[in-house]
């Protein structure tokens, strides 16, 4: 996509993302080596106003569209996929709540204004060791017990990305049975960082992928939550019908853009290397070799095709709301294509670079590792293909 096809707002946020990405890229290798958290990246994000892009105008934000954030996130990820993936947690959560309006207005307004005025960041804490991914259902082991004025939350969550930088943790909890909900209920407790009984445990910094994303465990030991900050209450055993695609659109499409950005960064990096690499036996850049050109072509074809589908689906979501109920298979298609294009591109990049690609001299081995994380986000390849297949079969 050329800049001529973009609105002034889109050009502005891409320029913002590119500037941030350039700064992040300078720090990414060191943080990846150390497994350290890049606090300076989040200082830059706050100073730029990047998190406020998604906030409704009524609360001082830019209220950009899902398509706009897809553009921005791909460019941001080209600098540091770990930071882009982590900040995406705030982006897709606020984007989704903005559209569903499922939180009480005073609570959503408070969170949004703190994002705009203070650079606050928010993420859901839902995954648990016993339950696995919440996308597959199941009741959380984390509990909320009634107490005077609110609730006491007890439990442990994992994979809480950006944990050291978060202001708010949206913690899924199970509530005890009541006369109105005989089987109990589920809910989300919005908890501020620094609350008594809340601690973080670094269980992530030596992971295979996205080592500097701060995807720590969250430990909750009788953390008090005021009653009004317990949202999304839903009695168990009560069917709410088919889930809206809103539940997956913001998450899947913006994260697809992140992994597409990682794949494009690998392609750009290895192509630059190929133009500069001149073996003495060859006497000219390896970029002149047909087999290198074919590999570069395969990478760019896969990435470009995935990008075209991603942009088409994100545009449809943003510009044609009437189509949203039917977009779930296309969202799954975009996620499948983008994450697999990134995996393939990072593999091809290592093959092109040869032995140097395995060393820290080039960031290709980091791109290769980081791209693999995309396969773990829902919908997984198996779930995405099932959804796409059902649509094709008319089931």
Q: What is the pLDDT of residue 257?
A: 98
User: What's the pTM?
Assistant: 0.95
pLDDT for res 130:
80
Per-residue pLDDT tens listing for the chain (395 residues): 555 689 999 999 999 999 999 999 999 999 999 999 999 999 999 999 999 999 999 999 999 999 999 999 999 999 999 999 999 999 999 999 999 999 999 999 999 999 999 999 999 999 998 875 555 557 899 999 999 999 999 999 999 999 999 999 999 999 999 988 989 999 999 999 999 999 999 999 999 999 999 999 999 999 999 999 999 999 987 655 455 688 899 999 999 999 999 999 999 999 999 999 999 999 999 999 999 999 999 999 999 999 999 999 999 999 999 999 999 999 999 999 999 999 999 999 999 999 999 999 999 999 999 999 999 999 999 999 999 999 999 98
Q: What span, in angstroms and rounded, lies between the C-alpha atoms of 55 and 72? A: 15
What percentage of residues in the chain have a pLDDT greater than 90? 91
Spell out the SS3 assignment of the chain: CCHHHCCHHHHHHHHHHHHHHHHHHHHHHHHHHHCCCCHHHHHHHHHHCHHHHHCCHHHCCCCCCHHHHHHHHHHHHCCCHHHHHHHHHHHHHHHHHHHHCCCCHHHHHHHHHHHHHHCCCEEEECCECCCECHHHCCCCCCEEEEECCEEEEEEEEEEECCHHHCCEEEEEEEECCCCCCCCCEEEEEEEECCCCCEEEECCCCCCCCCCCCCCEEEEEEEEEEEHHHEEEEEECCCCCCCCCCHHHHHHHHHHHHHHHHHHHHHHHHHHHHHHHCCCCCCCCCHHHCHHHHHHHHHHHHHHHHHHHHHHHHHHHHHHCHHHHHHCHHHHHHHHHHHHHHHHHHHHHHHHHHHHHHHCCCCCHHHHHHHHHHHHHCCCCHHHHHHHHHHHHHCC
* pLDDT for the residue numbered 366: 98
For residue range 260-301, what is the model confidence (pLDDT) as tens digits?
Answer: 999 999 999 999 999 999 999 999 999 999 999 999 999 999
Q: All domains of the chain, ordered by start, with CATH?
A: 3-120 (1.10.540.10), 125-235 (2.40.110.10), 246-393 (1.20.140.10)
pLDDT at 241: 46
**CA angle, residues 109, 114, 117, in degrees to nearest 5:** 120
């Amino acid at each position: 996509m050329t800049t001529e096809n973009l609105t002034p707002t889109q050009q502005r946020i891409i320029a913002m993302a590119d500037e941030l990405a350039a700064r992040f890229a300078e720090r990414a290798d060191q943080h990846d080596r150390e497994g350290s958290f890049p606090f300076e990246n989040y200082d830059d994000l706050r100073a730029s106003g990047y998190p406020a892009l998604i906030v409704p105008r009524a609360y001082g934000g830019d209220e950009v569209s899902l398509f706009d954030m897809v553009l921005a996130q791909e460019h941001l990820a080209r600098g540091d996929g770990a930071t882009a993936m982590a900040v995406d947690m705030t982006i897709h959560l606020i984007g989704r709540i903005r559209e569903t309006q499922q939180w009480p207005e005073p609570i959503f307004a408070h969170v949004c204004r703190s994002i705009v005025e203070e650079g606050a960041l928010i993420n859901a804490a839902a995954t648990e060791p016993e339950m696995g991914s919440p996308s597959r259902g199941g009741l959380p082991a984390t509990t909320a017990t009634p107490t005077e004025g609110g609730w006491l939350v007890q439990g442990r969550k994992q994979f809480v990305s950006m944990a050291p930088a978060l202001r708010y943790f949206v913690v899924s909890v199970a509530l005890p049975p009541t006369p109105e909900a005989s089987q109990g209920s589920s809910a989300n407790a919005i908890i501020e960082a620094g609350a008594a009984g809340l601690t973080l445990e670094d269980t992530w910094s030596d992971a295979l992928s996205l080592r500097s994303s701060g995807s720590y465990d969250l430990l909750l030991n009788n953390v008090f939550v005021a009653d009004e900050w317990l949202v999304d209450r839903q009695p168990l055993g009560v069917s709410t019908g088919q889930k809206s695609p809103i539940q997956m659109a913001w998450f899947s499409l913006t994260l697809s853009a992140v992994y597409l950005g990682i794949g494009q960064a690998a392609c750009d990096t290895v192509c630059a290397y190929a133009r500069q690499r001149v073996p003495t036996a060859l006497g000219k850049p390896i970029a002149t070799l047909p087999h290198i050109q074919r590999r570069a072509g395969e990478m760019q074809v896969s990435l470009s095709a995935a990008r075209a589908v991603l942009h088409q689906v994100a545009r449809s979501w943003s510009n044609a709301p009437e189509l949203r109920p039917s977009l779930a298979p296309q969202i799954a298609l975009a996620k499948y294509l983008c994450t697999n294009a990134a995996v393939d591109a990072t593999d091809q990049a290592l093959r092109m670079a040869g032995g140097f690609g395995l060393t820290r001299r080039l960031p290709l081995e980091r791109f290769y590792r980081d791209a693999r994380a995309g396969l773990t986000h829902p919908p997984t390849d198996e779930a995405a293909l099932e959804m796409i297949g059902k649509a094709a079969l008319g089931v």
